[in-house]
Amino acid sequence: MEQRLWNHLRDRRCGGYKFRRQTVLDRYIADFHCAEAKLVVEADGRSHDGTQERDAARDEWLALRGYHTLRVLNTDVRGSLEGESAS
């Protein structure tokens, strides 16, 4: 699902914003990162089951540095982007 989401974020396809994939932010790796908007987008799937505390601590750490975190469930990516071409 990350690849499908990336296809919609890359090349400034999302509101003209530049996103980078798998960006290191100190001790964390963001799935998708937009420095201009101070936004981190995380694609959450089964690998995040049972990691709510760790994710919350990470989101708090990012927030203290001015970042907003948007968590997107893989099922939402699948459903919302269903049938759209994966350029």
Average pLDDT, the chain: 85
In this predicted structure, what is the pLDDT of residue 77? Answer: 75
- Decide: helix, strand or coil at residue 77: helix
Task: Give the architecture (CATH level 2) of 2-80.
Answer: 3-Layer(aba) Sandwich (3.40)
The kind and range of the H/E element at 67 are none
Residue 12 CB neighbour total at 10 angstroms: 10
56 has a pLDDT exceeding 70: yes
More confident residue, 17 or 74: 17
In this predicted structure, what is the pLDDT of residue 47? Answer: 55
46 has a pLDDT exceeding 90: no
More confident residue, 22 or 46: 22
